[in-house]
Amino acid sequence: MQYDIIVVGGGHAGIEAALSSARMGRKTLMISMLAEQVGATSCNPAVGGLAKGHLVRELDALGGEMGLLTDEAGIQFRILNITKGPAVRGSRAQIDMDHYRVVARNTILTTPNLSLIQETATALIIENDTVVGVTTHLLNDYRAKKVILTTGTFLNGMIHIGEIRQEAGRFGEFAAKGLTESLREHGINVGRLKTGTCPRVDSSSIDFSVMEIQDGDELPNPFSFRTDREAFARDKKQLPCYIAYTNEDTHTLIEGNFHRAPLFTGQIEGVGPRYCPSIEDKINRFRDKERHHLFIEPQTAQNTECYINGMSTSLPPDVQRQMIHSVHGMENAKIVRYGYAIEYDYVDPTELKHTLETKKIKNLYCAGQINGTTGYEEAAAQGLMAGINASLSLEGKEPLILRRDEAYIGVLIDDLVTKGTKEPYRMFTSRAEYRLLLREETADLRLGRYGYELGLIDEVQIERIELKRSQINAGLKLLEETIFTPNKEFLAFLESIDEERISDKITGTQLVSRKSFELEKLTKLIPGFAHLDLYIQEQILIEAKYARYVEKQSEDVEKMSRMLHIAIPEGFDFASVSGLSNEIVSKLNTFNPPTLQAASQISGMTPAALDILQIYIKMASKR
C-alpha cells in the first residue's frame, strides 16, 4: 500500500503520467474505476489534428506512449493543411477506439514498476499541507510521496440529455465524489466546465453512396518517430471517412427545440468549449449558414458504428433522432448511443506551478482535463510532464520545464498556469509565437535529448535522431556553400526544371527558397541528395526555404531571453505604462516583481505586455 507515485485516473493523462514515472524507476500505482476503460476515447475516435498533432509528436520525442498507440490502432492517417506552410500542418489519425483501449491497458499491465488497482479515489490524505496518499471507496488507504490527479470529466460529473440529468463521469460510468471537497478544504479554487459528445450511429443503416468520400493519405505517415516509416506506409490498412451536411430542415428542427436544450434553459451552468460548439450552439450563433459539415467517422476497423463528428448535442433523444434523419444519407439511420453534454469540476490552473504541482498542497500534481483543457492530446502532454516532474523531484533533480520557443507543450502549460482559463482550453498553432521553430517534424530534434536523458527513449533512437540532425545540417551547409553562376549550362538546367533564370551568382539556399522550387527538383540540383531518405530531403528543403524566417524567430527568442533578466526598479510606476491593461497593472502592483522574469510568471502576463514594460523600464533608466 506504499508507493513512490500514485496516479488517480486511467485516461490519456493518467496513462502518460503512470508510464513515465514507472519507466523512470518509480514504484507507481494507477487507480482507475474500470481496468477495461483505461485509455478509453470518450469522445471522437481520432488523435491529433491542427496543433494537437504537434503535441503528440512532442510526446513521442520525449518518450511518451500516445504516438505508438495511435500507430498501432490507427485506421486512417491524414496531414491537415497540407497546402499551407509546414508550421501550420497537423497530423491526424482515425483510430480503432476498441483496439486503442486494449493496447493501452495491456501496456499499463505489463510495464515494470507499475500496478493497476480498480477502485475509486474519494479523498486525499493530507498532512501539514502535504499530500501523503489517497483513500478509496473501499476505505483503502494508499500512501505515496507524490500524487497525480488525472480525473478527466469525472469530478462530480453530471450528464445532460434533454431534461434528463444523470450523475456520471462518462456515459455508463459513475461520477467521482469526494476529491473536489478535499481540494476545496485546502484552499484550491475549483470551477465548473462543460463539454459534450456526438451521437453514434449503426453503420449499416447509413447510405454512404450519397456522401462525399474522404480517404486517408496515399502514403500514410506514422505519429511515432520510433515507428518504421517505410513498413508503416506499405502495410497500414486504411478506412475512408465521409462528409455529410446539415440543411434547412435540420436547422429549423433544432431551432424549434431550443426551449428543450439544456444549454439554453439554464440546466447547464458550466462553460463549454468555444472552438468546439454543440450543434444547437452553432445554429443559435450562425443561423445565416445554409449548412454545416458533418464528418462520418468509423469507430473501429470493423466499421460497425460511426461517430457523427460536428453534431455534438445534449438535445432530447426524440429530437436527436429527427435531427439525424434530416441529414441526406441518414434518413434511416439507427442511433446506437445518443449524444450528451457533461459538466464536471476542474482546478483553476493558476493554482499550479509550471511543474504542474499545486502551490497550496505540496507533492500534489494535476494533469489533463482537471486543469481546464479539452482533448486527448492536451491531457496526455500534461500527464507526461507531471509524471516526469514528480519523478525528478523524488530524485532531488531540477524539474523539466519546456520553454514556449521549445515546444507546444511549453506553450500549453505556460498558458494554463500563467493565464488560467474560464473555458475548456484547446491548443492552436496561433497560440505559439515561435511556431516556425516548432514544426511537427522537428519534435525529435528539439526534444529527443531530454527523452534520452530521462531514460524514456533508448540509445538506438537517440542515434537515429543525431544521424537525422547531422544529415540535415550537412545538406544545409552544402546548399549554402554551393554557388551557381548564370552560365549557359546552368541557365539551360534552370529552364529544364521550369525555374526562372538568374542574372547573378546565387547560393543553393537562395535558389531552393523560391516558392516554385519543389522537392523533385532538389536531387536534380544536388544529385548527392538522392541517396538520402525522402524524409531528410523534405527537411533540408523546408529548412532552406524558411532559413531567414527561422533565423529571425531565433533572434526574437534570444531577445526575449535577455529581456527577462532585466531588473524592475524599486517603486516603478506600472500605471504610467501605456498599453498595459488595468488588470495587469493591478497584478504587477500586488506582486511587485523584482525582474521581468518574475513578472512573466504572473497569471495573465503576455509576451506583448513584457515587451512594452521593458521599453518603459529602459526609458526610466535613461531619465
Can you spell out the DSSP letters for 430-480?
GG-TTGGGS-GGGHHHHHHHHHHHTTSS-HHHHHHHHHHHHHHHHHHHHHH
Backbone φ, ψ for residue 418 (5° rounding)? -100, -35
Q: Are 416 and 36 in contact (CB under 8 A)?
A: no
Contact 244, 100 (CB under 8 A): no
Q: If you search the block for the grid coordinates 493523462, which residue do you land on?
A: 13
pLDDT at 535 over 80: yes
Query: 346 phi and psi, to 5 degrees?
Result: -140, 155
pLDDT greater than 80 at residue 182 = yes
The edge-to-edge listing of strands for the beta sheet with 190-197 is 164-167, 158-161, 340-347, 190-197
Confidence of residue 433 (pLDDT cuts 50, 70, 90): confident
C-alpha cell at 92: 491526424
Which string of b and e fits 316-331 if b means at least 16 CB within 10 Å?
A: beebbbbbbebbebbe
- The whole-number pLDDT of residue 524 equals 94
CATH of domain 460-550: 1.10.10.1800
Beta-bridged to residue 220, according to DSSP, are none
pLDDT digits (tens, 9 = 90+) for 298-311: 999 999 999 999 99
Average of per-residue pLDDT across 360-365: 98
**CA 150 from centroid of its chain's CA atoms:** 15
Separation between Cα atoms, residue 432 and residue 404, nearest integer Å: 7
Per-residue pLDDT tens for 444-488?
999 999 999 999 999 999 999 999 999 999 999 999 999 999 999
Torsions phi, psi of 255, nearest 5? -60, -35
C-alpha dihedral, 232 to 235 to 236 to 238, nearest 10°: 150
Q: Give the pLDDT confidence of 540-560 residue by residue, as tens digits.
A: 999 999 888 888 888 877 877
pLDDT at 570: 85
Phi, psi torsion values for 202, nearest 5 degrees:
-60, 120
Predicted TM-score of the model (pTM): 0.91
Lookup result for grid cell 450511429: 201
Residue with cell 436547422: 251
Query: In which element (H, E) is residue 559 found?
Result: helix 547-563
Domain boundaries, the chain: 200-341, 460-550, 564-622
Distances (CA, A) of 591 to 272, 531, 554, 601, 611: 31, 58, 31, 10, 18
**93, β-bridge pairs:** 47, 77
CA dist 480 → 198, 511, 541 (Å) = 52, 10, 12
> Can you give the three-state secondary structure of 591-604, one letter per residue?
HCCCEHHHHHCCCC
**Concatenated DSSP letters of 285-327:** H-TT-S--EEEEEESSTT--EEEEET------HHHHHHHHHTS
pLDDT tens sequence across 555-592:
877 877 787 788 998 889 999 998 888 888 988 988 88
The residue written with cell numbers 524507476 in the block is: 25
d(CA 510, CA 544): 8
Q: State which H helix or E strand residue 107 sits in.
A: helix 97-110
Per-residue pLDDT at 104 exceeds 90: yes
pLDDT digits (tens, 9 = 90+) for 477-524: 999 999 999 999 999 999 999 999 999 999 999 999 998 999 999 999
- pLDDT for the residue numbered 591: 81
CATH class for the region spanning 200-341 = mainly beta
Asked if residues 247 and 329 have their Cβ atoms less than 8 Å apart, the reply is: no
Q: Which are the contacts of 95, defined by CB distance < 8 A and separation ≥ 6? A: 41, 45, 46, 47, 70, 73, 74, 75
Q: What is the dihedral of CA 74, 77, 79, 80, to 10 degrees?
A: -80
**Does the fold of domain 460-550 match that of domain 200-341?**
no
What order do you get walking across the sheet with 212-214 strand by strand? 212-214, 241-245, 293-298, 305-309, 200-202, 335-337
- 408-419 vs 52-62: helix crossing angle, rounded to 10: 110
Output 535 or 214, whichever has higher pLDDT.
214
Distance (Å, whole) CA 30 – CA 612 = 46
| Closest to 196 in 3D by CA, of 298, 272, 283 | 272
Kindly indicate whether the domain formed by 564-622 is annotated with CATH number 2.40.50.140: no
Residue 100 has pLDDT above 80, yes or no: yes
